[in-house]
Amino acid sequence: MPTLHWIAATAAIAGLAVPAAGLVARNAPSDGTCTKTTVAILGGGMSGVAAAQALTNNSITDFMILEYNDKIGGRALHTNFGKQEDGSPYVLELGANWIQGLGRPGGPENPIWTLAKKHGLKNTFSNYSSILTYNETGAVDYMDLLDKYSEAYEKAAAKAGRLLAENLQDQTARAGLALAGWNPKHSDMAAQAVEWWSWDWEDAAPPEQSSLIFGAAGSNLTFNQFSDENNLVIDPRGYNYIIQQEASTFLKEGDPRLRLNNRVTNITYSDDGVTVYSDDGSCVSAAYAICTFSVGVLQNDVVAFEPELPQWKQTAIQKFTMGTYTKIFLQFNETFWPTDTQYFLYASPTKRGYYPVFQSLSTEGFMPGSNIIFVTVVADESYRVEQQTDEETQAEVMEVLRQMYPNVTIPEPTAFMYPRWTKTPWAYGSYSNWPVGTTLEMHQNLRANAGRLWFAGEATSAEYFGFLHGAWFEGREAGYQIASIMQDKCVQVYDNAQLCREARPFYEPLPGTSPLDHYNILNGWATSSFYSSDSAQKE
């Protein structure tokens, strides 16, 4: 049953009697100095662009995108690195890199995969079975642990499915794995490395902090519903090429509806409209706004909201987790690691998560002959290396590589680089993770609108949080939902689900679990059943 607050919010929005698109500007605050628009889209990443396209598709063309950076794309971001034979640099992804879960013939397809095919984005199948294992003495075979982990994970995921279907209390992924038979000692460094590769590498958080239910559900919804393939994007135009190309389907060259280099500082919102102030003193007043800033940005209080965001929203923002995922790139004058293998897993003798996964780009299908390898750290190790100089971090990585390949004389790298995502003022981290003990309703409070201020982005996706496709789905849904309200019509969002003129519910107080009938499209749960590989294959 809906809570009283939910009814109140719906009634308040329904009572607004929204006029046709052209008239809406009158509803906005009568602040003569601000540029007027119908929908202000805050942020030009995947979510903001999908929202603008969704509005366009519904004939709402009076919108403005306000973006901090000098380009569209957000956390899909690349940079030049090192040198090719002709002296020009390679192009490497600092943020999103994989298309995760592609799709099966006849089955649902990951929309990012659809866009990658449409725009001819260069990508290569990432083979997670192409892996060698190491420790501080060199190559050591502990591959059998990978299968042991997988067996336990399957059991834990099935248990998660039962907890969800029976509406029982969440557990940590740690508890779920241990109960399913994967319970390594802290001193078993090979098992710790395998666990890091299998869990932390995707979630950018350890199993202790992660929700068993939503970790398993999220993994199912991407890798069972679409497919378990991950393709690494290696396009010299960058991953954000597909976002920019989609933006150009509705934005002309120099379109005044896109403001780049525009840092939003203040957002004033009510049930009547939203006014957005930027650091250059400009402002935009809109009938609606969609805020697509990362959870990191919202958590860091860098944008001032007037009035202060309601407690239920602030709690949801602080409850959700922003992870950090750091790729550290090295180029050498030669490739001293095996070129027929994609991944090299290192078990540090002293510290879990210490430079654990190396990835070769010099391998066939990627950037052969590039002599580029990169290593990834997450969470606490990311925070630690972000505080170090490049020289300090490079020395640590080189020590590890020399342990892994004791029989090779390894030269110093010719290029070295890594981003500091936690200190990036328009992201404050990499992507979100669903923490243990967080209900669907709590998550819904992260995505619910506060008056005419809506929220979208990677983190507001209940089903695909953390992924680029989550950002796309959520931007689209916010755009469709606002169109539905403004134009007083129902919109078909998925084959099996419509949205009809409804604002998003929020929940207060929050009970310990969310009733099963709240797993619905209005709360961001579009799948009619809980996907298993079986049901996905049948569809």
Contact footprint for ligand NAG (CB under 6 A): 50, 53-54, 57, 127, 129-130, 135, 137-140, 157-158, 160-161, 164, 189, 213, 216-217, 220, 224, 265-266, 277, 304, 333-334, 349, 406-407, 411, 476, 530, 532-534
* Nearer residue to ligand NAG within complex by CB, 349 or 425: 349
Half-sphere exposure of 415 (CA within 13 A, CB side): 19
* Nearer residue to ligand FAD within complex by CB, 66 or 503: 66
From the list ligand NAG, ligand FAD, none, partner contacted by residue 370 (C-beta under 5 to 8 A by kind): none
Q: What is the C-alpha separation between 397 and 518, in angstroms, rounded?
A: 47
- Smallest separation (angstroms) from ligand FAD to the CB of 40: 11
Contact status: 128 vs ligand FAD (CB under 6 A): no
Contact status: 300 vs ligand FAD (CB under 6 A): no
Q: What is the C-alpha separation between 218 and 321, in angstroms, rounded?
A: 15
* Nearer residue to ligand NAG within complex by CB, 183 or 333: 333
Instruction: Give the one residue of 74, 82, 218, 238 binding ligand FAD; rule: CB under 6 A.
Output: 74
Residue 223 has phi, psi (to 5 degrees) of: -90, -20
Residue 483, H or E segment: helix 468-486
Q: What is the C-alpha separation between 466 and 191, in angstroms, rounded?
A: 25
Strands, E assignment, 357-429: 357-360, 372-378, 415-417
Any residues with CB less than 8 A from the CB of 422 and at least 6 apart, and which? 296, 324, 382, 383, 386, 428, 429
From the list ligand NAG, ligand FAD, none, partner contacted by residue 530 (C-beta under 5 to 8 A by kind): ligand NAG
Binding letters toward ligand FAD, positions 17-46, x by CB under 6 A = -------------------------xxxxx
Nearest to 342 by CA among 371, 362, 327, 325: 362
The residue number with the shortest CB distance to ligand NAG is 161
Contact status: 297 vs ligand FAD (CB under 6 A): yes
- Smallest separation (angstroms) from ligand NAG to the CB of 3: 25
Burial class (CB in 10 A: 0-12, 13-18, 19+), 226: buried
- Smallest separation (angstroms) from ligand NAG to the CB of 135: 4
Calculate the dihedral angle through the C-alpha atoms of 304, 305, 311, 314, rounding to the nearest 10 degrees.
-50
The string of DSSP letters for 373-390 reads EEEEEEHHHHHHHHTS-H
From the list ligand FAD, ligand NAG, none, partner contacted by residue 88 (C-beta under 5 to 8 A by kind): none
CA torsion sign, 125 to 128 to 132 to 134?
positive
Nearest to 354 by CA among 324, 397, 310: 397
Contact status: 100 vs ligand FAD (CB under 6 A): yes
Instruction: Give the one residue of 82, 95, 176, 215 binding ligand FAD; rule: CB under 6 A.
Output: 95
Q: What residues from 394 to 433 belong to the interface with ligand FAD (CB under 6 A)? A: 421, 426-427, 430-431
Contact status: 288 vs ligand FAD (CB under 6 A): no
DSSP bridge partners of 291: 42, 455
Helix (H, G, I), strand (E, B), or coil: what is residue 442? helix
Contact status: 358 vs ligand FAD (CB under 6 A): no
Contact status: 457 vs ligand FAD (CB under 6 A): yes
Q: What is the C-alpha separation between 168 and 322, in angstroms, rounded?
A: 25
- Smallest separation (angstroms) from ligand NAG to the CB of 276: 10
From the list ligand NAG, ligand FAD, none, partner contacted by residue 69 (C-beta under 5 to 8 A by kind): ligand FAD
Number of neighbours of residue 443 by Cβ within 10 angstroms? 27
Query: Are the C-beta atoms of residues 346 and 355 closer than 8 Å to each other?
Result: yes
* Nearer residue to ligand FAD within complex by CB, 81 or 426: 426
Instruction: Give the one residue of 38, 47, 53, 393 binding ligand FAD; rule: CB under 6 A.
Output: 47
**Which residues of the shown chain bind ligand FAD in the complex (CB under 6 A)?**
42-48, 66-69, 74-76, 95-98, 100, 262-264, 292-294, 297, 303, 325, 421, 426-427, 430-431, 457-458, 467-468, 470-471
